[in-house]
């Protein structure tokens, strides 16, 4: 029982970071129907950017964040203007593959600017372990969870209450209609990328705290959020959160109970098997829109 509880708690806490990263993909998909393959690379890029500002330029974390915001805006604008805007109205797959090529560009940029072994952030989060009953939790995990919770709440409030958030949701529903109401759709797309990259940045920062600022693991973790998004349903913000936590739990339980039976490595396969089974029952993910097709 202690084993089970520990697995559930750890899986839940890890899953919350997955959920945060998946939100980035969902928001871009909602706004512009583009499935962003570059998410993992952007996660890694932002982690490196923050590292660069904090360690090479000796800035405080708060200044580092403030400086990286305009950089992110510029990147979001360039992506929208140079890649996605010319591809509007073209086959959607072309835009999706353009994001894959974008991932290659971002990876190359990381190798160009920050070659060599992984970096580590200076320690500023409290470290230590607390014990609740039989379950051990590190303070790091709790901080991670709190940051994810805050980011998620802020995200929800933005979409539920603010005018801009409501505009974005409206735009996602129908570009044509939004345009006729005087919404500048292109700006909304830039904003969507901006928010997505910020989400990626927070996720990347938290993951890099655990793994070190290392290109490949961060990219792989970003790719994992693809599975999260599909499990939750591509359009659903709640789905991304539940999907992320579900993948975290499935990994932990798979490693805990199936690894000894089949000889290891289940952690990476098990969530996908469950994913296919869930898709067979609910073909649009757990919370995705069911498309009513007309001929």
Binding positions for another protein, 78-107, rule CB under 8 A: 82-83, 86-87, 90-91, 93-95, 97-98, 100-107
- Least Å distance between CB 219 and another protein? 9
The three-state secondary structure class of 138 is strand
Please state the length of the chain: 295
Return the number of the residue (101 or 166) whose C-beta is nearest another protein: 101
Return the number of the residue (71 or 82) whose C-beta is nearest another protein: 82
Q: Measured between alpha carbons, how far is 4 from 180 in angstroms, rounded to an integer?
A: 54
In angstroms, what CA-CA distances link 255 with 3, 91, 153? 12, 40, 31
Q: Which of 221, 241, 245, 246 binds another protein (CB under 8 A)?
A: 221
Q: Measured between alpha carbons, how far is 144 from 142 in angstroms, rounded to an integer?
A: 5
- Least Å distance between CB 138 and another protein? 5
- Least Å distance between CB 25 and another protein? 11
Q: Measured between alpha carbons, how far is 34 from 251 in angstroms, rounded to an integer?
A: 27
Q: Which of 1, 112, 132, 261 binds another protein (CB under 8 A)?
A: 112
State yes or no: residue 186 binds another protein (CB under 8 A).
no
State yes or no: residue 11 binds another protein (CB under 8 A).
yes
Dihedral (CA of 152, 158, 71, 56) sign: negative
State yes or no: residue 125 binds another protein (CB under 8 A).
no
Return the number of the residue (62 or 261) whose C-beta is nearest another protein: 261
Residue ranges in 227-256 that form contacts with another protein under rule CB under 8 A: 227, 230, 234, 248, 251-252, 255-256
Other C-beta atoms lying within 10 Å of the C-beta of residue 89 = 6
Q: Measured between alpha carbons, how far is 220 from 259 in angstroms, rounded to an integer?
A: 21
Residue ranges in 12-51 that form contacts with another protein under rule CB under 8 A: 14, 17-18, 35, 37
Q: Measured between alpha carbons, how far is 49 from 24 in angstroms, rounded to an integer?
A: 18
Q: Measured between alpha carbons, how far is 193 from 200 in angstroms, rounded to an integer?
A: 10
Residue span binding another protein (CB under 8 A) among the ranges 54-62, 151-159, 191-199, 208-216: 208-216
Q: How far is CA 105 from the centre of its chain?
A: 19
Q: Total residues at the site for another protein (CB under 8 A)?
A: 84
Return the number of the residue (50 or 84) whose C-beta is nearest another protein: 84
136: phi then psi, degrees, rounded to nearest 5: -100, 135
Tokens of 106: 């971002």
Return the number of the residue (192 or 229) whose C-beta is nearest another protein: 229
State yes or no: residue 207 binds another protein (CB under 8 A).
yes
Other C-beta atoms lying within 10 Å of the C-beta of residue 49 = 23
Q: Which of 61, 125, 165, 217 binds another protein (CB under 8 A)?
A: 217
Residue ranges in 260-289 that form contacts with another protein under rule CB under 8 A: 260, 262-265, 267-269, 272-273, 275-276, 279-280, 283-285
Tokens of 261: 């039976």
State yes or no: residue 158 binds another protein (CB under 8 A).
no
């Amino acid at each position: 029982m202690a084993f089970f509880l520990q697995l559930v708690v750890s899986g839940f806490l890890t899953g919350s970071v997955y959920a945060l990263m998946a939100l980035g993909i969902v928001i871009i998909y909602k706004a512009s129907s583009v499935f962003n393959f570059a998410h993992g690379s952007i996660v890694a890029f932002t982690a490196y950017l923050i590292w660069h500002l904090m360690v090479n330029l000796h800035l405080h974390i708060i200044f580092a964040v403030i400086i990286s915001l305009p950089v992110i805006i510029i990147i979001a604008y360039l992506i929208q203007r140079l890649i996605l805007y010319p591809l509007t109205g073209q086959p959607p797959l072309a835009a999706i593959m353009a994001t894959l090529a974008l991932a290659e560009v971002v990876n190359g940029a990381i190798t160009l600017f920050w070659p060599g072994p992984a970096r580590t952030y200076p320690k500023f989060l409290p470290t230590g372990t607390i014990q609740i009953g039989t379950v051990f939790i590190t303070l790091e995990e709790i901080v991670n969870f709190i940051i994810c919770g805050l980011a998620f709440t802020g995200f929800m409030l933005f979409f539920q209450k603010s005018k801009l958030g409501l505009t974005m949701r409206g735009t996602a529903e129908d570009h044509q209609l939004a345009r006729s109401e005087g919404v500048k759709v292109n700006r909304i797309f830039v904003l969507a990328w901006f928010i997505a990259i910020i989400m990626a940045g927070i996720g990347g920062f938290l993951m890099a705290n655990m793994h070190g600022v290392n290109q490949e693991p961060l990219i792989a973790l970003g790719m994992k959020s693809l599975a999260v998004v599909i499990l939750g349903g591509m359009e659903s913000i709640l789905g991304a959160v539940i999907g992320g936590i579900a993948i975290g739990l499935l990994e932990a339980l798979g490693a805990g109970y199936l690894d000894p039976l089949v000889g290891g490595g289940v952690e990476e396969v098990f969530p996908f098997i469950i994913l296919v089974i869930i898709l067979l029952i609910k073909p649009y993910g757990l919370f995705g829109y069911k498309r009513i097709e007309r001929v």
